[in-house]
Structure 1
Amino acid sequence: MAPVIIFMVIVAPIWLVLHYRSKRQVSQGLSEEEYIQLSELSEMADKMSERIQTLEAILDAETPDWRSKV
């Protein structure tokens, strides 16, 4: 019976506070700084994708069977 009381008095309130705090943060969405950072990362990913496609095209032209060696 003591573990249940300890859980209800100590653990449960802390858990509830942390749970609802995280729910509130999620519902607020991205901050302006996070949105800017996400946009920058998205642009970087697009550039990297284009570079990878270019490199693969070069490798395909110079060494057609390079994919089977990987």
Structure 2
Amino acid sequence: MGSEIIVIPAIFIGLPWLILHYLTRWKTAATLTTDDEKLIEDLYDLARRLEDRVITVERIVGADNPNWRALAADPLQSGLEDRNQESLRRIK
């Protein structure tokens, strides 16, 4: 009988109160303002323009050197970068 007095109010009062409490917290949470939406649109436009620029640069470099992707993928194999210990010792 003693535990029923605690369990019944907990189920019928405590649980709905807990659910309603977090529902109101969720509804009052910060949402995107018009300034935020404009900032997101501006950032998206900037990213799209930068992507277009990168594509243009890749097209130009590809016209000058068709094998540039292979060189960029492995600089050690291409001879553009020397990672041996002798060159590192000379730098120090």
TM-score range, shorter chain: 0.5 to 0.7
Q: What's the CA shift for 1:30?
A: 1.3
Question: Residue 39 of structure 1 corresponds to which residue in structure 2?
Answer: 41
Pick the aligned partner of 1:64 from 53, 63, 66: 66
After superposition, residues 11-30 of structure 1 pair within 5 angstroms as: 21=25, 23-24=26-27, 25=29, 29-30=31-32
SS at match of 2:32: coil
1:48 aligns to what? 50
Unaligned regions of 5+ residues in structure 1, if any? 1-15
How many residue pairs get aligned? The number is 50
Cα RMSD for the two superposed structures: 2.0
Mapped partners of 1:42, 1:67: distance in 2: 27
The structure whose residues are more often helix, as a share, is 1
- TM (norm. structure 2) is 0.47
Which sections of structure 2, spanning at least 5 residues, go unmatched?
A: 1-20, 73-92
- Whichever of the two has the greater Rg, that structure is 2
How far apart are 1:69 and its partner, in Å?
1.0
Partner SS state of residue 60, structure 1: helix
Question: Which has the higher relative contact order, 1 or 2, with Cα contacts under 8 A spaced 6 or more apart?
Answer: 1
TM-score by length of 1: 0.60
